[in-house]
Amino acid sequence: MAGLFERLKAGLKRTADGLVGRIDTLVLGKKTIDGETLEELEEILITSDIGIKTALELVRSLEQRLSRNELKDGEALRAALKEELLAKLLVHHRPLELEKAQPAVVLVVGVNGVGKTTTIGKLAARYTAEGRKVLLAAADTFRAAAAEQLGVWAERAGVELIRHQEGADPSAVTFDACKAALARGAELLIVDTAGRLHTKVNLMEEMKKIRRVIGREIPGAPHETLLVLDAATGQNALNQTRIFQEAAGVTGLVLTKLDGSAKGGVVVAVSHEFGLPVRFIGVGEGIDDLRAFDPQEFVDALFQR
């Protein structure tokens, strides 16, 4: 397990340097903590994509600790901030349970370019390795080569793919995939969707239609709607979450490309501000680098010196 933690730590290095590294420069060695120190800390948090709302709440909690004489020095402030960040992540953290339904249906949404198809491929490989029968649906019929890309992943993971011609009705693909999942005894159906945001109305109508089809064919489904976000987009991830939560009823988040970004603080911001659990994080290119999110492990990896 130490090897896995070291890989996580390496994947979060840029965020750790950009966030905790700057905090350490500010607070370590300080014998006393004052209001000015907390103001500077607030600026670091905001510019590290923790988000203004979340940053202000964190600093408010630290101010209360300061007034109770709990923050004697820089080390105490650092430890208190780590505790507060963890608490923010734990509030909304819930395990992803897909065992109760058969087939369990996961709808995957997100704008183009965030790593949605790759995430689906890695999820398929993950659950297949656990011994589950997985089926994929290529309901992103608008992006050229989307189905081909998903097909490559399906082959790599050793799972079946339901697809139509480019430009086909996404809900028709979804309908066929639901029928196939039931007929073939699949335990998990993962549905890819188009990531166009140019007209919010179209996106909403399409999502509603797909969800209606799924719910009609498999009562109670979709059991999870995962929004995939590119961590490198920082605060823009909040805008995407707002739109997709309204359009698609998002129940969980996947943050990709954390290894290539110093903006990993957005993990805290997007989970806290929308009350959504982070389900998975991507910290590398490898098939095992899509990891189930563990708040304690995440915070430990950021703060470990």
Which segments within the chain are labelled E, that is strand?
104-109, 134-139, 160-162, 188-193, 224-230, 252-256, 278-282, 290-292
Name, in order, each residue with C-beta under 8 angstroms of 284's C-beta and a sequence gap of 6 or more.
7, 11, 259
- 83-132 pLDDT, tens digit per residue, is 999 999 999 999 898 988 899 999 999 998 899 999 999 999 999 999 99
Conformation bin of residue 269: beta by default, left when phi > 0, alpha when psi is -120 to 50: alpha
Q: Are 192 and 150 in contact (CB under 8 A)?
A: yes
Task: Answer whether 243's CB lies under 8 Å from 197's CB.
Answer: yes
pLDDT for the residue numbered 188: 98
Cβ pair 208, 214 in contact under 8 A? no
Q: What is the pLDDT of residue 198?
A: 52
Question: Do 254 and 128 meet the contact criterion of CB atoms below 8 Å apart?
Answer: no
Q: Which residues pair with 278 in a beta bridge?
A: 253
DSSP secondary structure letters along 138-195: EE--SSTTHHHHHHHHHHHHT-EEE---TT--HHHHHHHHHHHHHHTT-SEEEEEE--
Supply the pLDDT for residue 1: 46
Residue among 29, 25, 61 at smallest CA distance from 40:
25
pLDDT in the model for residue 132 = 96
Q: What is the pTM of this model?
A: 0.95
Helix H or strand E encompassing 74:
helix 74-92
CB 157 within 8 A of CB 212: no
Q: What pLDDT is stored for residue 92 in this prediction?
A: 96
| Residue 197: per-residue pLDDT | 59
Q: For residue 115, is it left (φ>0), alpha (ψ between -120 and 50) or beta?
A: left
Token reading at 92:
């909304």
Q: Whose structure tokens read 């082959």?
A: 155
Which residue positions in the chain have pLDDT lower than 50? Answer: 1-2
pLDDT digits (tens, 9 = 90+) for 256-296: 999 988 889 999 999 999 999 999 999 988 888 899 999 99
Residues 6 or more apart whose Cβ sits within 8 Å of residue 272: 51, 53, 54, 57, 88, 89, 91, 92
